[in-house]
Structure 1
């Protein structure tokens, strides 16, 4: 039978942030003020206190006093900053608080009319507690504590005079900062992995380098190169995007190559899908020769860095039939009964140009090779990997790979393209993925978006969402039929609900034509062909929302509340089901932003919104100056406000709360 003493004198339960009771590290980002909480209680009526003790990667410890969420609550909370990347640890210390117990008892007895004689033992106990406090209190506090002790011992003074200093605000502040702690009980230690800020904050732009070559003199599309893609970085940086994601840049298989619009037969000159990785020209550690050389890639990475952009590279762990691995390591694939290697399927879709990897036949060899490939690209300046279909690979493999990489390169980030069941998407986050795609593209109604956002807040201890508005695979029907205003609406929602958001190239032009009714695939999909876009003509004819996207990214950079963890997302009330209202606040700077966004791209929306004022750091009756980052207008707002969002104007207010 386990000893009751070993369990600790006081009870500590429901500690956060923890993931599966500490099985996996909780997550945070550098500079974040992390919320900690625990339920602490003991028998009887004696007061208890709690402290969170943080230990940084170097072993230095920091202690922060926790406080109850309410007078009748056993829930204790505190917030503390994390200042460097790496593995932090924390534990909770619970302790009996003799001063608070004494203070409560004395106040109750004085109010009940008891005399100094009745309180003789209480007064002596107070002296003993304050003497203990004085021994460890800062020098500046000792004079106040000494005065309180002297007053308690003054038998010639009235009872109220004897206790007045001890029950005053100055003593309470000293004992709050340097409490007397008895029966100290320590919780288990929990891990907290702190990622670089980019794990939760970034504006992403997906670009196919091969589509940046422009047209030749005869009007024919020219295959782009790393050099032409490098020139496109200025356009992207001007819109305010700071991460450019490249689909696979490796040689593309020639066997079973797909043609335009995913046709089974490739015509001469068809470039194939970049996700059919590998050919006789090389595999995952090679670059497509039409794009250039590895030295050209290095120059592009350097140019991106000069423009304040990070390059994210696709990690697609699959192979074309002519990938070098197929001949060298057939055991890394699944062989069917007829002796052929199984190609990828997602019924009814078939991918005859792709062989999935089998991670069970030779895990040691395959794991090592993938780690070598990832390390190769890290050495060439890539610190962000967008992982293709991670939910089709074993979760224990990802847990091994990610933490092997982070052990040597803690600044490396992995984005999971996991459009899959919630258990798998969240499971990948728990096991180490820095951020994840989400179901955002399919959440369009107000109730769906609110439910979606609240679920993300609940998962914030281990999952950083990246809200992509579209991808080469996903052209949602709302964009197909909602007009250019819907493109603005979805961009507002994605860029302000989450610290990370992204668009796929062509979004700013409102590309919206599907390959067929009911499909989410683009007509003439860039996955299978080059796609030339005339950015200059579109801008001149005002068919581009690039300036609007720039406004959104500028608003994000102006407000720490928007470029932060999704933990701070709070929804407010709107009378109109086509208008959504939410706020985000940054504790460190006091910055608060309110977003009021129409969900109807065709009609004017009117509504009365009701703000939960305490969530904004305001009183219920307060008024504040509401500055709209999109229109530049300023409004006088309070708890209830009438809002009109016209269908032919800005679809949203992005309100900076300016307190008087």
Structure 2
């Protein structure tokens, strides 16, 4: 601000205007004014980006890119790509759909999404169908159940069951998902008047004393660490979960229970089919019937298969119509590997 005061917006009293993304105010951030010296600002930002690239950074998460000129991001991403096409740009842009689509079209390879606010079955099915449709040509969604400044009422009051099922759905319904630090500890208390964790890293240094949750520690067994680790192992082992467009939704009698599958054949010709059944109601255990579209799973209508639960290790004989019991008294989600007889 001392060397280039013209790069910033000043108020009538001469003070520097802080950043705003209504209704939020960021009084510790001073936004750059691109109108006064665009060439100089472009060059300086490009120089700073190169410093981080030279230090080994290959992914940039851009906060609120929709509050800056779209033309700037298009130029910056393209200019970096001429030398480093491996660099990935993630748009943290919780804004109107048209702008989120525009950011994908001009170069951002990944995007935050509305997942945190989509909790009902019809909402999730409609939203994921949109993302896996024509938009999949230029948008790569990243699903986050919470972030440092997003803690929805669903997560505040859903208890550990909500935190398990939202992580499991995010990890299996799209190829890319994210977990905010401390998620393992179900940090569900909100700052009064805001949908974000109280005393989060924006306000203080947090010593979570991870060792207390390790075997032998005073809080052993009170962490979701093992559950998240298992989700990541499942994602690594199953290529069907690495794709976006290969999703099929199946009918479930209970409107609170969702079922979807993902199937792919690997380059070696191996068939990989994963079926997910999730009880989206974190407050109740529900019993219902799941009706599978067997041809979408690569089976004939009369065929059955072994349904192997990758979370619990249990196995059942399944066919087109299957009874499930899911919720806080058991597990909220089945993640099933289809095994032929």
TM tier relative to shorter chain: over 0.9
The answer for the alignment partner of 2:337 in structure 1 is: 656
Tell me, yes or no, if structure 1 residue 623 matches structure 2 residue 304: yes
1:626 Cα offset (Å): 1.1
Q: For 1:646 and 1:347, how far apart are their aligned partners in 2?
A: 38
Mapped contact 2:21–2:67 kept (Cα < 8 A): no
Tell me, yes or no, if structure 1 residue 495 matches structure 2 residue 171: yes
The answer for the alignment partner of 2:162 in structure 1 is: 486
Mapped contact 1:464–1:565 kept (Cα < 8 A): no
The answer for the alignment partner of 1:193 in structure 2 is: none
The answer for the alignment partner of 2:112 in structure 1 is: 437
Tell me, yes or no, if structure 1 residue 638 matches structure 2 residue 319: yes
Q: For 1:351 and 1:415, how far apart are their aligned partners in 2?
A: 20
Q: How does 1:490-569 map to 2 (within 5 A)?
A: 490-516=166-192, 519-539=194-214, 540=217, 541=219, 542-562=221-241, 564-569=242-247
The verdict on how the C-alpha distance between 1:428 and 1:561 changes in structure 2, with shifts beyond 3 A counting, is same
Tell me, yes or no, if structure 1 residue 578 matches structure 2 residue 256: yes
> What's the RMSD between the two structures over aligned residues?
1.4
Q: For 2:325 and 2:120, how far apart are their aligned partners in 1?
A: 19
The verdict on how the C-alpha distance between 1:348 and 1:597 changes in structure 2, with shifts beyond 3 A counting, is closer
Tell me, yes or no, if structure 1 residue 330 matches structure 2 residue 5: yes
1:528 Cα offset (Å): 1.6
Deviation by residue 1:570-589 (Cα, 9 ceiling, x = unmatched)? 21111111111001112334
Deviation by residue 1:6-37 (Cα, 9 ceiling, x = unmatched)? xxxxxxxxxxxxxxxxxxxxxxxxxxxxxxxx
Mapped contact 1:605–1:647 kept (Cα < 8 A): no
Q: For 1:623 and 1:403, how far apart are their aligned partners in 2?
A: 50
1:613 Cα offset (Å): 1.6
Q: For 1:608 and 1:537, how far apart are their aligned partners in 2?
A: 41
Deviation by residue 1:125-172 (Cα, 9 ceiling, x = unmatched)? xxxxxxxxxxxxxxxxxxxxxxxxxxxxxxxxxxxxxxxxxxxxxxxx
Residue of structure 1 aligned with 2:69, choices 394, 403, 422: 394
Tell me, yes or no, if structure 1 residue 457 matches structure 2 residue 132: yes
The answer for the alignment partner of 1:466 in structure 2 is: 142
The answer for the alignment partner of 1:593 in structure 2 is: 274
Q: How does 1:79-478 map to 2 (within 5 A)?
A: 326-458=1-133, 459-478=135-154
Mapped contact 2:104–2:111 kept (Cα < 8 A): yes
The verdict on how the C-alpha distance between 1:576 and 1:523 changes in structure 2, with shifts beyond 3 A counting, is same
Mapped contact 2:282–2:327 kept (Cα < 8 A): no
1:593 alignment partner, SS class: strand
Q: For 2:9 and 2:141, how far apart are their aligned partners in 1?
A: 33
1:591 alignment partner, SS class: strand
1:584 alignment partner, SS class: strand
1:406 Cα offset (Å): 1.0
1:405 alignment partner, SS class: helix
Gaps of 5+ in 2: none
Mapped contact 1:509–1:538 kept (Cα < 8 A): no
1:634 Cα offset (Å): 1.2
Q: For 2:77 and 2:327, how far apart are their aligned partners in 1?
A: 47
Mapped contact 1:391–1:420 kept (Cα < 8 A): yes
1:356 alignment partner, SS class: coil
**TM-score, normalised on structure 1?**
0.49
Q: For 1:590 and 1:348, how far apart are their aligned partners in 2?
A: 48
Deviation by residue 1:37-68 (Cα, 9 ceiling, x = unmatched)? xxxxxxxxxxxxxxxxxxxxxxxxxxxxxxxx
Mapped contact 1:600–1:647 kept (Cα < 8 A): no
1:659 Cα offset (Å): 2.2
Gaps of 5+ in 1: 1-325
